[in-house]
Amino acid sequence: MRNFAERLTRFKPLQTFLYWTELLIATTILGAPLAVYEGFYRERQYGLATQTLGPWLGDQLIVLIVNLVLGGILAMVLFGLVRRFPRTWWIWCASVSIVFLILFIMIAPVFLFPLLNKYTVLDNPKITQPILSLARANGIPAQKVYTMDASRQTTRMSANVSGYGQTMRITLNDNLLRRGSLEEIESIMGHEMGHYVLHHIAKDILYFSVVVVIFFAFLHWSLERALARWGERWKIRGIGDSAIVPLVFLIGTLLGFVYTPFFNTHIRTNEHEADMYGLNASRQPDGFAQGAIHLGEYRKMSPSPVEEWIFFDHPSGRNRIHDAMRWKAENLQLFTPKSEH
């Protein structure tokens, strides 16, 4: 594939982009059976999917094109740096990747998410008034709450905080709006506001910047050794040769595999923090427990502690209900009618 890209053009960055295109198409075809099983067939088996195969494939094509363009640009920049700084490339590549990550987080809610779903400003005072009141009480200068048509793909209920700086926003998906009680929606909004007030996105950027630097340092170390040993047999000319990308993927996958429980635990710790914040802010423990039960449609409710540590990026339903009921038990005066005092 590298030789083919070189025959098509003499311009090095374009060779990198062509190689990226070939590799992405090849790996997409090779990975298709598993991707279709995981993303389409199994989702239907569990009754979570709302799409037929045609529209689902259409979504996958959009994701592929985004990967092609953004991944291609990143590959061209990173290989440019490797060729210019053959000894210190990993520091430069790590820095550029971090900048890329921040830009991605900033533009995603405005330019990328709308490629798959329709985002609109929520316009139902019955729901927006209590949410905006909760936001004001927590020092969040929000004027708008967003909603999106997740029901186009799935029955899953969800909400999130996305973006960074000017693009930061809270979005409630339409499944939650349709199926959740007001108490439930308020408790989930309290959770999302927790992410916002506790600056989870900014802290994650800082944290993952450290992870990215460690990753590139390890990549530098392992690529040098692998090339010294097998470079000739694999016909990879050096670190600046785009034919090294599959080896980078292999090392990245192995590292990612080992890193899985630590990644999930990092995210899950933030989520627990947001849970606690949300209970205190919304004072809706019953709504929160109801939400945890709804999420049980796609998350195992009661995993073993080891299972939760390895696989769960949110606290389990059981732990969330336990947290909510403990909070309620300690705040029973909020729920007892005055006449009964």
CB of 131 to Zn ion, least distance (A): 16
According to CB under 5 A, which residues from 50 to 109 bind Zn ion? Answer: none
CB of 191 to Zn ion, least distance (A): 6
324: which residues sit within 8 A by CB, 6+ positions away?
A: 187, 279, 285, 286, 288, 289, 292
16 or 270, CB closer to Zn ion?
270
CB count in 10 Å sphere of residue 194:
25
Amino acid found at 37: Y
Which residue is it, tokens 């985004």? 66
The closest alpha carbon to 58, from 40, 33, 38, 37, belongs to 40
76 or 274, CB closer to Zn ion?
274
Q: Using N-to-C axis directions, what is the helix angle for 285-295 and 182-197, rounded to 10°? A: 90
**DSSP H/E element including 120:** strand 119-121
Strand extents, DSSP E, 226-333: none
d(CA 102, CA 197): 19
Q: How many residues bind Zn ion (CB under 5 A)?
A: 2
CB of 274 to Zn ion, least distance (A): 5
CB of 195 to Zn ion, least distance (A): 6
4 or 263, CB closer to Zn ion?
263
Bridge-based pairing state of the strands 169-173 and 159-162: antiparallel
Sheet holding 159-162, edge to edge: 119-121, 146-148, 169-173, 159-162
With beta carbons less than 8 A apart as the criterion, state whether 115 and 69 touch: no
The closest alpha carbon to 327, from 141, 190, 207, belongs to 190
Quick note: the x/- pattern for Zn ion over 186-225, rule CB under 5 A, is ----------------------------------------
200 or 220, CB closer to Zn ion?
200
Quick note: the x/- pattern for Zn ion over 230-269, rule CB under 5 A, is ----------------------------------------
43 or 271, CB closer to Zn ion?
271
d(CA 88, CA 220): 9
157 or 219, CB closer to Zn ion?
157
**Three-class secondary structure of residue 171 per DSSP:** strand
106 or 161, CB closer to Zn ion?
161
According to CB under 5 A, which residues from 25 to 44 bind Zn ion? Answer: none
78 or 274, CB closer to Zn ion?
274
Neighbouring-strand partners of residue 161: 170
Quick note: the x/- pattern for Zn ion over 266-285, rule CB under 5 A, is -----x--x-----------
CB of 194 to Zn ion, least distance (A): 8
CB of 162 to Zn ion, least distance (A): 11
CB of 103 to Zn ion, least distance (A): 23
340: which residues sit within 8 A by CB, 6+ positions away?
A: none
231 or 278, CB closer to Zn ion?
278
Tell me the CB-side half-sphere exposure of residue 133, using CA atoms within 13 A.
8
CB of 176 to Zn ion, least distance (A): 13
CB of 66 to Zn ion, least distance (A): 24
| Contact positions vs Zn ion (CB under 5 A) | 271, 274
